[in-house]
Chains A and B, each alone.
Chain A
Amino acid sequence: MDISATLLQGAQNAFYQVGKMALILIPIIVFLEILRDLHIVQQGSRLFAPLMRIFRLPGEAAVPIVVGLVFGILYGAGVLIQAGKDGSLNAKEMTVIGLFLSLNHAIIEDPLLFTMIGADYLLLQALRLVASVVITALFAMWLLPPLSVPVREVAQSNS
């Protein structure tokens, strides 16, 4: 094995990945700032709030989840880190979203790759969705307080 050629290839890979990330991540974050200033994110996340209840999460959690599902874990993580810094999500909520995104992300691109070796695309993604929702919901039941009491108040009264 030619070590220097391999290292060079690794560095090229890394530059390529970071460059690709910059091209997608920065426009997404700028786009999200625009959505936020137009108050669209707050309105839009209401649509997903009922779904987030499955994971005992507030409606705001829908934003990193939707970004991660469509664009991949890296971009979902970028939005999630931002939400953590803004204080709109706490550490435990981030962990639950992080688990869901770990299990299920890039739902358009990734399953398509496996059709090349003869896998069933719809079955793959449907099964992945079921598995990730079941495991994340169970994890949330263990980690987060029930939603009947507003999550934010519980977090404050405990601290």
Chain B
Amino acid sequence: MNPTEMNASRPTVIDQPSVSKDTFVRGFSKGLKTLWLMSKFMFPLIILVTVLGKTPWLAMLGNAFAPILALIGLPGEASVGILLGMATNLYAAIGAVAPLNMTVKQATIFGFFLLISHGLLIEGAITKNFGAPAWKLTGLRLLTSFLFAFLLNVLWPS
């Protein structure tokens, strides 16, 4: 069916397409409301995460998690990067592993894991608006990260 036929078969649109001042006012006020809704979650969390990044707690946790990371082919030293990335953001994670000189395989597994599971505190707060409890979606992210990182490690010949 060509576009002309499609248009012919469609009933006449009563509500003519048009943009007015009202469009901009409505968009701006919707934008501001959404911004406010999100700032309420984000503002305190960003401060908390910044403070957390300055403490040695994340590094201590990293040592404990090293054996788990061996399952997905990552060196123990990468655990700090993984935890920083999961708790804060990708920039912190990359900063933490930049001195490690990982292989292409290790760097790709590391990148894949964090592309799926990063910024879990802040993005978890955002996912509260998605209709399901945030911990469920966050749990599914972690599961997906582990499952596919494990497969990548097993299937990629070193």
Contacts and interface: CB of A to CB of B under 8 A. Distances in A.
Interface string B35-71: 1011100111011111100110000000000000000
Given A7-B47, A120-B108, A92 B116 contact: no
Contacts of B144: 103, 131-132, 135
B47 A13 contact: yes
Given A33-B30, A114-B94, A123-B108, 4 more contacts: A14-B42, A21-B35, A81-B129, A114-B107
Contacts of A145: none
A124 interface: yes
A73 interface: yes
A95 interface: yes
Q: Main secondary structure on chain B at its contact with chain A?
A: helix
Contacts, number: 190
Given A7-B51, A14-B47, A117-B97, A97 B32 contact: no
Q: Main secondary structure on chain A at its contact with chain B?
A: helix
A146 interface: no
Interface in B88-135: 90-91, 94, 97-98, 102-104, 107-108, 110-112, 114-116, 118, 123, 126-127, 129-132
Contact of B34 (A81, A101, A124, A128): A81
A43 to B, nearest CB: 10
Contact of A118 (B38, B102, B112): B102
A114 B35 contact: no
Given A21-B35, A120-B104, A10 B129 contact: no
